[in-house]
Structure 1
Amino acid sequence: MPNITFQNNPVTLIGEEVKAGDQAPDFTVLSNDLEEKSLKDFAGKKLITTVPSLDTGVCDAEIRRFNEEANNLEDVTILTVSMDLPFAQKRWCGAAGVENVVTLSDHRDASLGQAYGVLIEELRLLARAVFVVNENNEVTYVEYVSEATNHPDYESALKAAKEA
Structure 2
Amino acid sequence: MSRIGKKPVSVPAGVTATVTGQAVKVKGPKGELSFVVPDEVSVELKEGAIKVDPRDDSKKARSLWGTSRSQVSNLIQGVSQGFEKKLEINGVGYKAAVQGKVLKLSLGFSHDVDFEIPAGILIATPKPTEIVISGINAQVVGQTAAKIRDYRRPEPYKGKGVKYADEFIFRKEGKKK
| TM superposition score normalised by structure 1 | 0.21
Greater length-normalized contact order (CA 8 Å, ≥ 6 residues apart): 1
Structure label with greater radius of gyration: 2
- Give the number of the structure whose residues are more often strand, by fraction: 2
| TM superposition score normalised by structure 2 | 0.20
- Give the number of the structure whose residues are more often helix, by fraction: 1
